[in-house]
A and B are shown apart, each in its own frame.
Chain A
Amino acid sequence: MLFLFPELILCGLGLGATVAALFCRGRGAGRWALYGFFVCLAGVVTGLCLLAYAIDLGPEATGQLTPEFIARTFAVDPLSLFFSTLALAVCGLAMLFSMEFVEEVLEEHPAEFLALIAFASLGIACVARSRDLITLFFSLELVSISGYLLSGMLRREPRSLEAALKYFLIGAVSSAIMLFGMSLIYGLTGATDLRVLRDAVGEGHLHAVGQLAGVRMVSSQDPMVITGILCIVVGLGFKIAMVPFHMWCPDVYEGAPTPATAFLSVGPKAAGFVAIVRLLMLTFAPSSGPVPWAQPVLWLCALTMTLGNVVACRQTNLKRMLAYSSIAHSGYILIAVVSLGSADLALPAIVMYLIAYVLMNVGAFSVVIALSNIEGREDIHAYNGLSKRSPYLAYAWVIFAMSLAGVPPTAGFLGKLYVFMAALDDRVRLYWLAVVGVANAVISVWYYFRVARHMFFVEGVRTEPIRVGRGAGWAIGLSLAGTLVLVPLFPWLISFATSAAQVLGAW
């Protein structure tokens, strides 16, 4: 149970906030958010200590410390412990940047907002742990259902409700399609355990290769298997907003309350990618022979990057622009997903990119939150002359824009570097994809720095200084520190991620 510590913290936090909701109406919710942040902070520190302990012990000994009935569906390897610590960090940052929002904007149910964030983070942590189809699906669903509610928290605001309705309908349909695919996979093999599935979906071209302890071996070329896997790809594609399943993303991000958007842009996306790593890269990727999902995802990856970046250029609402930018970032991470042949580079690249993405996106959104708490709007003209009104926000945005666009010396640059290296490896040779990726990074510089131009070089109508809220200010500071401090730490992180990925390959 020791290694399930982050999950226990998140679960306790969610339940605690639910109970607190009974007593807490209106004012005072900001204080609860602060307490939540400190709990998460303590949890992250403990989680990192546990991580060091788990790496020291090695995977076998770690597994033995966990009861059988948990270990059967919950992985306790270092990588999953790392991801659940990351989920705890996301939860803490979200508590921090929504502090002013729950205190001042959200009049009804402020503590429920915090509870939903904690439960969604619990879902992310559990996705990373799952080694069974059933656990994996229901953890994803925990993230999604909390997300629908988070986006509709402003019940008197038609745009927020519209975002919630769209997110709900599209999310629920995509879940149903994914479930249908999972039912086919279960039916063909008779197993839901991901490790058994990995062995059962083999490379042979025969329909039924043989029996293995009540499990039927099937070929990865079997039309039913391909249908099942493609259904799962469609479902996961909706979760990470992969083109052509991205239509919901800009609308939901624009309509949802800004702190909810900030959480939705990192939480469900991280969960979706962790699920992709578990399901597609580690389970349904036979070591030899063609991988059924690789070709379609390869083309969609190039499309996702390009469409996200090109459409982001003509957005004037910052939330919508960041929505398209997050679609583009999904595309970059997908480069590493399709670079299967160099999995020993691709897995650490995904881990690194996700960390960088969480930090820089939370940071960029915190700037938007800090301003929208005061101005109540997010269009680009609200940012005119910001460098005079609040130099802190303006300079922070420049750093986050550099990181998002992939300019050194930021975490975003290193994330992109490792992703492209995975594609350029001799075993994969996806040169054209890396070229498309670099071209897209160049396009993205334009729209991130267009906002910076408005901040520094356009005179604003209003000139009075902005008092940045405590929570948003600290969230910006922490992600700023993370974006810059991660750079010297990267060699160490990469070696950790590589060793964790090797453990995972053997899992």
Chain B
Amino acid sequence: MGFMLGDILESLGQPVGLRHCLVFAALLFAVGLYGVLTRRNAIGILMALELMLNAVNANLVAFWRYGPGPREALNGQVFAVFVITMAAAEAAVGLAIILALFRLRRTVNADEVNLLKG
């Protein structure tokens, strides 16, 4: 287990490297997940979701830059570009659904949308 907390904190004092990026991405992902779980507003959930996807992008690019793969293999970067595209598509679909719901119900609060139960 090379990932003890003390280890990580110690290595953060060194010049910027993979660890810094990973800790940053993990925190960003955690903030996003927290937002998704606690936000009531659907737009807020969507924004928190974008944070999670951006954490993934940070991870991918950091791993491409510092990771074990050869720098000429652009897998990580290509993956990140596709994730950005997908995030845009998902946001478009999500906003369309939220907009249609708002027109109908005059609310975008996720916990007021509760017709389906059982």
In the bound complex, CA of A138 to CA of B100 (Å) = 26
Expressed in whole angstroms, the Cα–Cα distance for A176 and B50 within the complex equals 9
User: In whole angstroms, how far apart are the Cα atoms of A176 and B36 in the complex?
Assistant: 11
Q: Are B49 and A172 in contact (CB under 8 A)?
A: yes
Q: In terms of DSSP, what is the predominant structure of the interface of chain B?
A: helix
Tell yes or no: B31 within 8 A of A by CB.
no
Given contact pairs A176-B52, A180-B52, A254 touches B116 in the complex (Cβ within 8 A): yes
Q: Is A223 an interface residue (CB 8 A)?
A: yes
A176 engages B53 (CB within 8 Å): yes
Give A246 Cβ to nearest chain B Cβ, in Å: 14
- Looking at the assembled complex, report how far the CB atom of A52 sits from the nearest CB atom of chain B, in whole angstroms: 35
Would A183 and B90 count as touching, CB distance under 8 A? no
**Residue from the list B69, B89, B110 in contact with A190, Cβ < 8 A:** B69
Residue in contact with A164 in the complex, picked from B59, B76, B90, B97, CB distance below 8 Å: B97
Asked if B59 contacts A214 (CB within 8 A), the reply is no
Docked CA distance A265–B82 (Å): 27
Tell me if B79 and A161 are in contact (CB < 8 A).
Answer: no
Provide the bound-state CA to CA distance between A159 and B104, in Å.
Answer: 11
Tell me whether A356 is interfacial, beta carbon within 8 Å: no
Contact present for B116 and A163 (CB under 8 Å): yes
| Residue B118 at the chain A interface, CB threshold 8 Å | yes
Interface string of B53-80 (1 = CB under 8 A from A): 1011001101100011110010110110
- 1/0 contact string of A202-245 vs chain B (CB within 8 Å): 00000100010011100000011000000000000000000000
With a 10 A CB-CB cut-off, give which of A179, A182, A189 has the most chain B CB atoms.
Answer: A179
Residue B23, interface by CB 8 Å: no
The answer for the CA separation of A163 and B100 in the assembled complex, in Å, is 12
> Which of A168, A191, A223, A315 is within 8 Å of B69, CB to CB?
A191
- Complex: how many Å from CA A221 to CA B90? 34
CB distance from B28 to the nearest CB of A (A): 10
Question: Closest CB-CB distance, A339 to chain B, in whole Å?
Answer: 31
Say whether B93 faces chain A, with CB atoms less than 8 Å apart: yes
A residues 169-195 near B (Cβ < 8 Å) are: 169, 172-173, 175-177, 179-180, 182-184, 186-192
User: Could you tell me if A173 and B60 are in contact, using CB atoms closer than 8 angstroms?
Assistant: no
Which of B45, B78, B86, B116 contacts A159 (CB under 8 A)?
B116
B118 CB contacts on chain A under 8 angstroms: 250, 254, 315, 317, 320
CA distance A161 to B101 in the complex (A): 6
Contact between chains at A176 and B56 (CB < 8 Å):
yes
* Residues of A close to B1: CB separation below 8 A: 223
Which of chain B's residues have a CB closer than 8 A to the CB of A179?
Answer: 53, 56, 83
A192 engages B94 (CB within 8 Å): no
Q: Which residues of A contact B67 (CB under 8 A)?
A: 186-188, 190
| In the complex, residue of chain A having the shortest beta-carbon distance to the beta carbon of B71 | A214
Q: Is A45 an interface residue (CB 8 A)?
A: no
Judge whether B97 and A165 touch: CB under 8 Å: yes
Could you tell me the distance between the alpha carbons of A180 and B63 in the complex, rounded to whole angstroms?
Answer: 12
B45 in contact with A169 (CB, 8 Å): yes
A290 to chain B, nearest CB (A): 17
Is B15 in the interface zone, CB < 8 Å from A?
no
Decide: A155 near B115, CB < 8 A? Known: A165-B42, A180-B59, A190-B68. no
Q: Please give, as numbers and ranges, the residues of chain A lying within 8 Å of B73 by CB-CB distance.
A: 190, 214
Q: Closest approach, in angstroms, between the C-beta of A430 and any C-beta of chain B? A: 31
Residues of A within 8 A of B101 (CB): 158, 161-162, 165
Q: Which of A241-259 contact B (CB under 8 A)?
A: 250-251, 254-255
Other-chain contact of A173, B22, B49, B70, B115 (Cβ < 8 Å): B49
Contact B97 A168 (CB under 8 A): yes
Give the interface centre of B3, B73, B116 by most chain A CB atoms within 10 Å. B116
* A180 touching B56, Cβ below 8 Å: yes
Chain A residues near B13 (CB, 8 Å)?
none
Q: Which residue of B lies closest to A161 (CB)?
A: B101
- Nearest CB of B to A416, in Å: 27
How many Å lie between the Cα of A207 and that of B90 in the bound state?
A: 37
* Contact assessment for B60 and A183 in the assembled complex, using a CB-CB cutoff below 8 Å: yes
**B85 closest partner in A (C-beta):** A138
Chain A residues with CB under 8 A of B32:
176
Question: With A251-B116, A317-B118 known to touch, is A187 a contact of B93 (CB < 8 Å)?
Answer: no
CB closest chain-B residue, reference A146: B93
Closest 3 CB pairs of A and B: A190-B69, A187-B63, A216-B68
A-B contact pairs, 21 of them (CB 8 A): A148-B93, A162-B114, A166-B113, A168-B97, A169-B42, A172-B90, A172-B94, A173-B49, A173-B52, A176-B52, A182-B79, A186-B67, A186-B76, A186-B79, A190-B67, A192-B75, A192-B79, A207-B2, A224-B3, A251-B117, A315-B118
Given contacts A138-B82, A152-B100, A214-B73, 11 further A-B contacts (CB under 8 A): A148-B94, A156-B104, A158-B115, A162-B113, A162-B115, A169-B49, A172-B90, A176-B53, A176-B56, A180-B55, A191-B69
